[in-house]
Amino acid sequence: MKTRTEYTCPLELTHDITKGKWKPIILWQLGKGPHSLAGLKREIKGISQKMLIEQLRELCDYGMVSKTSYEGYPLKVEYSLTRRGTKMLEAVVIMQGIGIEMMMEDGKEEFLRKKGLLD
């Protein structure tokens, strides 16, 4: 991750933190609770382990996610949202709400029900 040193507004920084296909989805999954790397990989269809590790590292660098390692064998590592990550999740929830609204307008209610996003 290459962090810029100059921004024209704070929104650019927020965009840098969440840009890409996977970061909002990772934040969403971690919003459900701490996950291991394998647990996240299972929950996020289509992401490679290399990409997941890279995206988690960037989210950790930005202070959105914390990584906790536990002693013992086998080594256990968990990722969870930080306070700042929880605040960022609020924005992700708003974005998902807009997506749900648009999918409903497009007749995708059954898909949303299968995902548990509609009653």
∠ CA 92-97-98, rounded to 5°: 100
Q: Is the pLDDT of residue 99 over 60?
A: yes
pLDDT at res. 10? 86
Q: Give the start-to-end residue ranges of the domains of the chain.
A: 8-113
The mean predicted confidence, pLDDT, of the chain is: 91
**pLDDT 10s digits, 47-98:** 999 999 999 999 999 999 999 999 888 888 999 999 999 999 999 899 889 9
* 8-113: CATH class: mainly alpha
CA 62 to chain centre: 13
Question: Backbone phi, then psi, for 48, in 5-degree steps?
Answer: -80, 160
pLDDT at res. 2? 60
Rounded to whole angstroms, the Cα distance separating 104 from 98 reads 10
